[in-house]
Amino acid sequence: MNLEDLKRIRRDLHQIPELGFQEYKTQQYLLDKISTYPQEHLTIKTWKTGILVLVKGKNATRTIGFRADIDGLPITEQTGYGFKSKHVGKMHACGHDFHMTIALGALEDLATSPLEDNALFLFQPAEEGPGGALPMLQSEEFIKWKPDCIFALHIAPELSVGDVSTRAGLLFANTSELFIDFKGKGGHAAYPHLTKDMVVAASNFVTQLQQIVSRRIDPLESAVVTIGKVTGGFVQNVIAEEARLEGTIRTLNPMVIDEVKHHIEMLAKGTEFSHDCSISIDYGSNYYQVYNSEEYVEKFKKVVMEQDVNWIEARAAMTGEDFGYILNDIPGFMFWLGVDSPYGLHHSKLQANEDALHVGVNLVKETLRGI
């Protein structure tokens, strides 16, 4: 598939971002494209809003998997693109339009010229939330075609087109969403003694929360607890009866995330007592760390060295990715693909360089052949 065709597909997909397990238009678009490829070697199954495509090898002794995530984010696009999102308040701000396009480009070529081994293409929903990898991994459809090894890519705005980066071992962190609701008693601002002010309770909680990492977690371990959203009250002269904190927990050790949660729960019990209120905690989506197989990273590096691309050794990051659940069960790896954008992931102005599409397709094809 040439670059112009790849660009057209990417722009089509960019205009129809959908949230996790709501990717109906996206799924249909992908199925329509796949139906135009030679079908002799293809078997196609759907799972929820996702798709699995098995390309039968010429003399298969194993199956090699490639995963592309397909959902968008609840972000209002501000790129100024002529092909911007048609879905108000939704955007492919994490590059999943790129991931899908690259998968389609590689799949089309393999449908015409299959490998010796089987290739399994996973178009996975709900990576951004609530998490599609784990239930897809456990599905009957996936289990039947379970690959012997698997890999995935993620665009990297900070890297140039032609740059490829990964590492053996830990690449991405363990992550958990964090939602905390406070319930007290509202009332007139002039009579605070008759109320239980949840803005004060939530504010104190946020301040004390910062001490969990600094005073409760081994300083040789890495952990982040961030509150990104605080809501409470409705008007300036009414004391808030309810408040809500929304944030995230990230650690490089799966045991530490449990320890952080334990201390959050202990802090909540103390706050309930001291502020005479009730607190509920919801951890939302939890993602397991992305841990790359040393064996397959070395095989991948050999493939990269034979291509016209630049290898960069990656550092571990606090980024979260539900592909970690798949790598916890199947050996493989994830790598960064440079797209040279002045704006980062999850930014409303993310503008990935489309020249990276052709780089990605070639790299996926050669990796499927070479690992």
CATH number, domain with residue 136: 3.40.630.10
Q: Are 179 and 165 in a shared domain?
A: no
Which of 265, 286, 307 terminates a domain? The answer is 286
Question: Which is catalytic among the residues 77, 117, 128, 322?
Answer: 128
Q: Are 105 and 33 in a shared domain?
A: yes
Half-sphere exposure of 112 (CA within 13 A, CB side): 9
Q: Closest by alpha carbon to 9, among 95, 89, 80, 104? A: 104
Q: Closest by alpha carbon to 319, among 175, 166, 150, 158? A: 175
Active site residue 69: yes
Q: Are 212 and 246 in a shared domain?
A: yes
Give the per-residue pLDDT at 49: 98
Q: Are 18 and 102 in a shared domain?
A: yes
- Structural domain total, the chain: 2
Q: Are 258 and 273 in a shared domain?
A: yes
pLDDT in tens, 5-64: 999 999 999 999 999 999 999 999 999 999 999 999 999 999 999 999 999 999 999 999
Give the per-residue pLDDT at 199: 98
Cα–Cα distance, 151 to 364 (Å, whole number): 9
Give the per-residue pLDDT at 209: 97
Q: Are 321 and 351 in a shared domain?
A: yes
Which of 262, 286, 310 terminates a domain? The answer is 286
Q: Are 73 and 150 in a shared domain?
A: yes
Question: Which is catalytic among the residues 69, 97, 127, 321?
Answer: 69
**What mean pLDDT value characterizes the chain?**
97
Q: Are 140 and 58 in a shared domain?
A: yes
CATH assignment of the domain containing 249: 3.30.70.360
pLDDT in tens, 188-206: 999 999 999 999 999 999 9
pLDDT in tens, 321-338: 999 999 999 999 999 999
Active site residue 71: no
Which of 257, 286, 315 terminates a domain? The answer is 286
* Residues spanned by the domain of 192: 174-286
State mean pLDDT over 233-244: 97
Cα–Cα distance, 77 to 120 (Å, whole number): 32
Give the per-residue pLDDT at 90: 98
